[in-house]
Amino acid sequence: MARTQVGIIGAGPAGLLLSYLLHAEGVDAVVLESRSRDYVEKRVRAGVCEHPTVELLRDIGVGTRMDAEGLPHHGFSLRFDGEDHRIALSELTGRTITVYGQQEIVKDLIAAHEAKGYPVEFEVSDVELHELDTENPHVTYRDVDGVARQLDCDVIAGCDGFHGVSRPTVPAERVKFFNREYPFAWLGVLARTPPSHEELIYTHHERGFALHSMRSPEITRLYLQVPFDEKIDEWSDDRIWSELSARLATSGEFALREGPILDKGITPMRSFVAEPMQYGRLFLAGDAAHIVPPTGAKGMNLAIADVRVLSRALVELLQHKRSELAQSYSDTCLKRVWRAEHFSWYMTSMLHVDPAADDFQRRLQLSQLRYTAASTAAATSLAENYVGLPFE
């Protein structure tokens, strides 16, 4: 039997960052992760870091590699009617975003934990949470060698994602779920080829949405809207490149660079919020509490915003015996969560082709795109949400 102040379930960006922030303030924490270290360091996820996320990582001393290898972006393109319409993020907001893969942030945080000796246990199994409605919750699990363990805690943080064990542990009558599923999905590919454009391209096309992104000067990340029940084996590499070329085409000079596809998969689209984000001594953060469609690039950034709030609340609770911030954790986070939910829904509905939409709805959609591209006020609203609203 072991003891820590905060047991953290999940070694994604949320769990690792929470652990690092807590240790910096003298609060003990242990991170438990069901996957291997190699898996979590290679798991390809989000790549857009909001301005507040970048500033936070720099402030705590884990932004060195991000600053060296990340790609700052001062704008992105809205592409529709075969034309590019640039949203000038820096000019409109004075801030930028940085393209730097979630797995790279995970690598940086794991390395920082290793350097300071902060505990992270990988490949644990049979994780169960107990006595959450008391002041002495605990976690039982099996370690990498299959040995049964118990971790006694003051607090448990559920940072284990949408399919993790933390949220289902909350009694059904103590949580309310808000859920919306979309009638399409994203087919994402990682290709070994230089990006075809210096900035991200969000494309509305009659055949469906497409996104041109990147992970480095040599690696391109691309997405296609596909039916929600599509099978990945129906998409050969040639078909993927052909469809990307058709949707990203413009009336001007644009050539899509092709290359070997290193990875491909299909991601469903959903909006989801669990309220409240806390139950007793269990606090949910990141995808364990909420999901946004990836169109607005908010998922990882929301998780980081959550644990920034949670770390301060837990320092107050455990170091200073003041519970006000812990009690208001859910209400504080949900203000930002619902803003991000709305923005992500807005971007998704503006750019994707809804198979059930009639001609009236599709003309409204084009009208919104044209207004956003032409109006400084509309473009500024989009830009300030995209680069990330300031932390409270």
Whether the Cβ atoms of residue 285 and residue 157 lie closer than 8 Å to each other:
yes
Catalytic one of 73, 197, 205, 212: 73
Q: How is 9-45 classified by DSSP, letter by letter?
A: E--SHHHHHHHHHHHHTT--EEEE-SS-HHHHHH---
Is residue 202 flagged as an active site residue?
yes
Q: How is 289-315 classified by DSSP, letter by letter?
A: TEE--GGG--HHHHHHHHHHHHHHHHH
Whether the Cβ atoms of residue 224 and residue 244 lie closer than 8 Å to each other:
yes
Is residue 276 flagged as an active site residue?
no
> What's the token pair of residue 173?
């009558």
Which amino acid does the sequence have at 352? H
Is residue 73 flagged as an active site residue?
yes
What span, in angstroms and rounded, lies between the C-alpha atoms of 235 and 223? 13
Strand partners, 382: none
Phi, psi of 52 (to 5 degrees): -65, -35
What span, in angstroms and rounded, lies between the C-alpha atoms of 126 and 149? 10
Catalytic one of 118, 202, 223, 279: 202
Q: Which of these, 188, 187, 212, 179, lies nearest to 198 by C-alpha position?
A: 212
Which helix H or strand E contains 96, and what residues bound it? none
Catalytic one of 52, 100, 294, 352: 294
Whether the Cβ atoms of residue 272 and residue 291 lie closer than 8 Å to each other:
yes
Is residue 298 flagged as an active site residue?
yes
DSSP-based three-state secondary structure for 76:
strand
Phi, psi of 263 (to 5 degrees): -160, 145
Question: Measured on CA atoms in the order 309, 310, 313, 315, is the torsion positive or negative?
Answer: negative
What span, in angstroms and rounded, lies between the C-alpha atoms of 327 and 379? 37
Q: Which of these, 124, 130, 179, 191, lies nearest to 156 by C-alpha position?
A: 130
DSSP label at residue 286: G
> What's the token pair of residue 120?
């992270």
Positions annotated as catalytic residues are 73, 202, 294, 298, 386
